Amino acid sequence: MRIGFVTTEYVTEEQNYDGGLANYLSRICLALKDKGHEPVVIVASSCDGRLRHNGIEVNRVKALCYRKRLMKILQFFPGLDWKIVSRQLNDKIRSLHKENPFDVVQYASVGATVLSRRADIPSVVRISGNQKLWDIAYEEAPSRKKRVYQNLEIEGLARADSLYGPSRVIADYLKTNHDFDIQIIETPFVQECSSFDAGLYNAIRTEVPGDYLLFFGSLGLAKGVKTIADMVHELLEKHPALAVVFVGKDMGYNGRPIMDYVREKAGEHADRVVWHDRVKHEQLYPVIEGAKLVLLPSRIDNFPNCCVEAMAFKKVVVGTKGASFEQLIDDGVSGMLAVPDDPRSLLAVVTKALSLSEEELREMGERAARRTMELSPERIVEQLLAYYQDVIGRVK
């Protein structure tokens, strides 16, 4: 089966190689290739070109969103940028389809890439979140501009032949508010690195000789970094040998780096707050392996890759209730859950986790890893292929 994947992110792109969407697509494409299928990626990029990455064909389309001067003009025409980028990506789909027809095209919901889809090719959208929920989580002020993008996303979903996604929380929201039926197919996981690079871990160990708690991913409001900040002083006060390590891109908060806020809230314990910018998986994985606990107190999430990765390394994850983590974590059994946006709740749950013996943490981590085994590419790909075949059969 020849399958097109239209996206605004992929692991080949320096601007967003570390995002959940980019990593999901890389894993599913590799799994499909291993099954004898032909995945083809079409990605919005800063340049045009065609390359092969890990045996996967990647078509870069120089997208409007990387042309800064034009984007300054288009800020006065909300939504036009998404429409133009969708047109650019779908023009590439059309030319590739003429060369060698696609059996099905999968679009990312991010950026409403499906808006200009070609109607005669069976097309599905994988739900990677919801613009309105993300705007709320990032405390974006309601505005006409925000509503335009929120509505465009929904318009795009309505143009697809079918919708699927990994998160029951997001699926339930879209069903309740827009009457969309979303098929649940969870995200596959495979540890794709043939070797690790311990450089970052060793650097952290020069700053942090003892135990550390780890947050990794996008450092912003939606991912709960402020919630960590608002309890970090009391946590470090109670545990004088403990440190908190953050790895990821700083998304900012109130016009300044969010890590400035974290350090400010840590007060005299700021020397035990460590931050490193985003890194590739081969550098990140040793840091996950070395953590005492992993903190991921998101306000909202979409079957979070960070949680799956940490669980696969047998780490106890502290996540949040109602934000998709329940789909992965059995609270108190394979991880722990706090109330979102509640520093007191997060502190209480972290304190409880730190009180567990090494044996109890090990057993909980083992149960977490067993959950990720249900996400084997072999199992998930069979579900996805059956879904594609059903859509193709219904459309044609």
Do 179 and 129 lie in one domain? The reply is yes
Q: What is the pLDDT of residue 66?
A: 63
Domain containing 57: what range?
Answer: 2-188+376-394
Domain count, the chain: 2
Do 149 and 215 lie in one domain? The reply is no
Q: How far is it, in rounded angstroms, from Cα 264 to Cα 10?
A: 35
Q: Diameter of the chain by CA atoms?
A: 66
Q: How far is it, in rounded angstroms, from Cα 283 to Cα 287?
A: 7
Residue 355: CB atoms within 10 A of its CB come to 8
Do 170 and 237 lie in one domain? The reply is no
Q: How far is it, in rounded angstroms, from Cα 199 to Cα 339?
A: 35
Do 183 and 209 lie in one domain? The reply is no
Do 324 and 388 lie in one domain? The reply is no
Do 216 and 329 lie in one domain? The reply is yes
Do 104 and 241 lie in one domain? The reply is no
Distances in Å between the alpha carbon of 6 and those of 10, 81, 126? 10, 16, 10
Do 215 and 331 lie in one domain? The reply is yes
For 359-388, the pLDDT digits (tens) are: 999 999 999 999 999 999 989 999 999 999
Q: Give the mean pLDDT of the chain.
A: 95
Give which of 250, 17, 20, 229 is closest to 128, Cα–Cα.
20
Q: What is the CATH number of the domain that holds 26?
A: 3.40.50.2000
Q: What is the pLDDT of residue 76?
A: 76
Least confident of 10-19, 308-317, 334-343: 10-19
Q: Is residue 193 part of a domain?
A: no
Query: To 5 degrees, how large is the angle CA 232–CA 236–CA 239?
Result: 145
For 255-304, the pLDDT digits (tens) are: 999 999 999 999 999 999 999 999 999 999 999 999 999 999 999 999 99
Do 308 and 204 lie in one domain? The reply is yes
